[in-house]
Every structure is written in structure tokens, then in C-alpha cells.
A and B are shown apart, each in its own frame.
Chain A
């Protein structure tokens, strides 16, 4: 088989395959199916993320000024009130 035989065989194949090519959709009226599907999936995923983000809002936190630790009770010891109060000096009797 020489070059011209090979070429004519390839041309025969070309004629068969490209005799009825699909119409060229060059005006962008139809994006490929795969790409459309990809966009649709991406949009759905974004919507799901937004819905979850809105639903799982963090609970409002207590102000640091009013917050008390739950272990505060452990710091209370017997007689601790003596440390936090000023002892009262009894009144002196009046001199006559």
C-alpha cells in the first residue's frame, strides 16, 4: 500500500464521517449539556450552604459583665465573709 492508496482510504473515511456533520451551533444558543449540569449542581450546592448557614445561627452570647463561672461556688470557704467585710468597732462609753 503506497501513500496515495493510504490517502484515498483516509479520504473515503473522511467523506463518510463528515458527510452529515452536526449543524454548527456557533451562536452560543446551547451550552454543552455537561457544563449546564455542572452549573446547575453548583447553584444547588450554594443554595444548600446558604440555607444551612441561615438556619444554624449562633446563639446570642451572655455579656461578660453578667457572666458568672459555674465553679464560683468552690471559692466560698467558711469564714470568708471576714475577708470581705470591715469589722465594726463597738461604741466607746462616754466619759463623764
Chain B
């Protein structure tokens, strides 16, 4: 895949990638933008290479997730080094009550459960694709999916 083709694909997947970056960055838009920009540079500079073992979207989501984790670690270390706490995050920019409840409920799940559910329901991936994006086995992805969905339904039902 040459650079022009890659740019075209990245632009096509941009909205979905941004949604996934938001999920990986605790729904902070600034962080998601920064992470996504870093990912695009990595991909276009050839630091992250698509090997064709999965779909481009799955691979790109895995790169976004890894980059977001590195970004989070850097921020944490920087906040320790400067001896100050990170600024409080603004509330999610969602207007409707239902989605606000969903975001609050998602925050109470474990990271893996939240990631699997977001990939399956938000990004319409299969559980297998979600497992590939998260670099975990299909069995493990299934367990996180089942437990996460059960917990999420309970949380949404109770609130």
C-alpha cells in the first residue's frame, strides 16, 4: 500500500478512528486529537507498518490503543515530575441523558471490558476483530464481552 492510498484510507476511517481514540483517552477530545495525530505520523512515516494480517481498521485501532496508552503514561510521569495533578477533565460533551448514562456506566467497567464493548457496539466489529485490535485471544475477548455486557446492562438498568 503506497502513501497516497494509505492517506486515502486514513481519511476514510478518520471519524471511526477519532471515536476509538476518544474511547482510549477517557473521552477527552484534546488528548484524542493528539493521539490520533501521533498515530497518523507514525503510520505515514513508516514507524508503524501494516502487515496485512488483519483488516486495516483493526490494525489501525490497535496502533491507536497502544499510542493512547503511551500518551497516558507520559502524561502521568510528567504530572509526577512537575509535582502537580493533571487538570480536572471537563465532563463529556454529550447532550442527551441516555448517552451520558452510558458513558458513566462505561467508566465503571474494567478497561478491557469497556474496550471490547466499544469495539463491538460502537464500531460494529465482531468479537474476533475486537480481540485482534486488542491483541488478545478470541476466548479472552469473549469472556470480557460477556462479563462486560452483563455488568453494563445491570448498571444501566439500576440507574
Contacts and interface: CB of A to CB of B under 8 A. Distances in A.
Partners in one complex: yes
Interface of A: 1, 6-7, 9-14, 16-18, 21-22, 24-28, 30-35
B74 A17 contact: no
Interface string B69-84: 0000010000000000
A16 B10 contact: no
Interface residues of chain B: helix, strand, loop or mixed (majority): helix
B122 A12 contact: no
27 contacts: A1-B156, A6-B149, A6-B153, A7-B121, A9-B99, A9-B102, A9-B156, A10-B121, A11-B122, A13-B94, A13-B99, A13-B102, A14-B19, A17-B18, A17-B22, A17-B93, A18-B19, A22-B29, A24-B14, A25-B37, A26-B10, A26-B40, A27-B7, A28-B40, A28-B41, A31-B37, A34-B74
A39 B34 CA distance: 16
A25 B38 CA distance: 10
A42 to B, nearest CB: 15
B102 A26 contact: no
Contacts of A13: 94, 99, 102-103, 122
Contact of B99 (A16, A26, A34): A16
